[in-house]
Amino acid sequence: MTRVCVVGGGGYVGLGYAVALAELGHTVVGLDIDAARVDQLNQGDSPIFEAGLPEMLERNLASGRLRFTADYANAVPEAEIVFLCTGTPSLSDGEADLRQVRAAATSIGAHLASGRSTIIVNKSTMPVGAAELVAGIVAEHAPQGASYAVVSNPEFLREGRVLHDILHPDRVVLGGDDPRAVATVAALYEPLGAPILRTDHRSAELIKYAANAFLATKISFINDIARLCERLGADVTIVAGGIGADPRIGPRFLNAGIGFGGSCFPKDVGALTRMTEGAGLHPGLLRAVLEINRDAQRRFVTRADQLLGGLDGRIVALWGLAFKEGTDDLRESPSVAVAEMMQERGAQLRAHDPAALANAARRLPWVTLCDDLYETTRGADAVALCTPWPEYAAADLKRVAALMRGDLFLDGRNFLGPRPVEAAGLRYVGIGRGARPALDAGLASLVGG
C-alpha cells in the first residue's frame, strides 16, 4: 500500500481522490490551504455534496487510513506519491489561471524529503507544457538530495458521480518520460481494471482539453440545431434521437437546453481557445461553441421576456440552480446566468435546488431561496426549469398550476416534455420544439415553393 498526499484535498477532485484512495487501502493525507475545510473534514463532515461521500469519508477516517491537514510539513515529506489537484480557474481572457498550481508546486518542492524519491501526479487540468512548469518550480525549491518525477494524469470524472467515476474509470491516461514513475502510478490504478494509456506529457495534457471541448461541441451543436428547429417547426428531441441512433454519433450530450456550465467545460474550452491562439492558429470552432452556449441562455431569457410581455415585476420560479443535477456546484451554472439576466430585467426570482441552496445564499443573495419546491410557485407568473433534478420529474404539476398566478412553464432542459405539463393545464415551452410556422419565403424557395 502506498503513502499518498492529495494537494487540494478539500476540493471536488482532491477530496474524491483522498477518500477513494483510502478506500482502496492506501494511507492518505488530504492537504488543503483552506484550514476551516480541513477541520470540517477531520470531523467527518463533507463540505461537498456528492453521492456516497459522507459514508466513505467517515469510514476511512475511522480506519485511520485518512486524515486532513493544512500543513505541507505534515504531509509531503512522508508521501511516496503527491497528487496535485488544485484549481485551475479561468482568467478573464479564458486563459488558465495557474496561480494555485504554482503555489502548490512551490510548497511541494520545498517540503520534499532529502534522500527520497517522490512522484508528483498532475491531476489538475493544465495547459500543454504544465508538466515542465511544475517540474521546474519543484526543482527550484526542492532541497538537495530530494529526487522526484512528474506524471501527467488528467481527470475525467463527472461531478455528481465523483466517487463512482474515480473507482470505475473508463480509461486512465498517464503521460511522462520516467517509465518507473509511470509504472508506479499505473500500479495504483490497476485494481480498477480500466485500460491505461501511457503517453508523453503533452499528449496527456491535450487529451483532457480535447475531450471536454468535444463534449461541449456536441452540446453546442444540438443547441444550434435547436435554434433551427424553432424556426422551421421541427422538434429537436426527435432530431437528436434520430441522429443519436447512429453509433458514429451516439445519443449522449445531445440534449438541447440552456447550455453547458460547471467548473470544467466553459473554462477548458476557453483555455483551449487561448492555447490554439497561442500556437498561432485560429480557434474558429471553439469560439463558436462558446458563443452558441452563451446564446442558449440569452435566448431562454428573451423567450421568457417575450412570452410574459416583459419580465419587469414578474415572479419567476427557478427550478434548479446547480450547473447540473447531483451536485451543489454553482460555478458557471447556466441557471445562475439565467437568474442574473432575469433579475436585470426586473424579475423577482424564487428558486429551489435540492443541494445548492447553501452555495446559492452566498452567490445569489437577491434571490428568494425556498427549501420547498412548491413555495417557489406561489403566485408565480412562470416556472423556469433550469437543472434536470429527478425531483422535478416527480413534481405534482396540478398543485403547481393551482399555486401559480400565471401558466407559463419554461422547460430549459426539455426535461418534463409537454405532455404532463399541458395535462396540468400549464402552457409548455421547451427548447427547439417549434410551433409549425409557414416557411418564410427564403426557405420556401429552397424547396421550390
Ligand X SMILES: NC(=O)c1ccc[n+]([C@@H]2O[C@H](COP(=O)([O-])OP(=O)(O)OC[C@H]3O[C@@H](n4cnc5c(N)ncnc54)[C@H](O)[C@@H]3O)[C@@H](O)[C@H]2O)c1
- Catalytic site includes residue 264: yes
Give me the residues paired with residue 67 across strands.
29
Total count of residues recorded for the chain: 449
Nearer to ligand X, 170 or 246 (CB): 170
3-state class (DSSP) for residue 81: strand
Nearer to ligand X, 100 or 293 (CB): 100
Nearer to ligand X, 210 or 444 (CB): 210
Nearest-angstrom CA–CA distance, 262 and 290 = 13
Nearer to ligand X, 82 or 182 (CB): 82
Nearest-angstrom CA–CA distance, 91 and 97 = 5
Cell numbers for 62: 475511522
C-beta separation of 124 from 86 below 8 A: yes
C-beta separation of 321 from 249 below 8 A: no
Nearer to ligand X, 324 or 352 (CB): 324
Minimal CB distance residue for ligand X = 11
Residues that bind ligand X (CB under 6 A): 7-8, 10-14, 31-34, 85-88, 100, 103-104, 124-125, 155, 157, 159, 263-264
In the complex, what is the shortest distance from the CB of residue 155 to ligand X, in angstroms, rounded to a whole number? 4
Active-site position among 5, 229, 264, 386:
264
Q: In terms of Cα–Cα distance, which of 188, 186, 204 is closest to 196?
A: 186
In the complex, what is the shortest distance from the CB of residue 190 to ligand X, in angstroms, rounded to a whole number? 21
In the complex, what is the shortest distance from the CB of residue 2 to ligand X, in angstroms, rounded to a whole number? 20
Handedness of CA 176, 180, 181, 186 (dihedral sign): positive
Long-range interactions of 400-404: CB distance < 8 A, separation 24+: 400/374, 400/424, 400/426, 401/425, 401/426, 403/374, 403/377, 403/378, 403/379, 404/317, 404/377, 404/378, 404/379, 404/380
In the complex, what is the shortest distance from the CB of residue 32 to ligand X, in angstroms, rounded to a whole number? 5
In the complex, what is the shortest distance from the CB of residue 434 to ligand X, in angstroms, rounded to a whole number? 34
Active site residues: 264
